[in-house]
Amino acid sequence: MQSVGIYEAKSRFSALIELVEQGEEVRITRHGKEVVRMLPVRRRPVISDEQIARELGQMEALHASIQPAGASSSTDSLRRTGRSAA
């Protein structure tokens, strides 16, 4: 990780970009306080295959736990009661 002041960053901007492209993190400071952090763009996915599989499993479990609309007789009776009262 490199830390440079704004004036130096303006002078060496192309070189700093090359460092970032190589995977280096560059921090630009103003009066000793960090104001900019340049990071390389991630080339690999943010989420792993294992995380995807786990999320899909949780979605399938949720889907299995939800009853279809016609599966509950109490729901049908509530609908009929509500309609006949109106």
Q: What is the pLDDT of residues 36-74, one digit of tens each?
A: 999 998 766 678 889 999 999 999 999 888 877 655 556
CB 26: neighbour CB atoms within 10 A? 20
pLDDT of residue 18: 95
> CA-to-CA distance for 1 and 46, rounded, in angstroms?
22
Q: What is the pLDDT of residues 7-46, one digit of tens each?
A: 999 999 999 999 999 989 999 999 999 999 999 987 666 7
Q: Which residue ranges form the domains of the chain, and what is each CATH number?
A: 2-38 (3.40.1620.10)
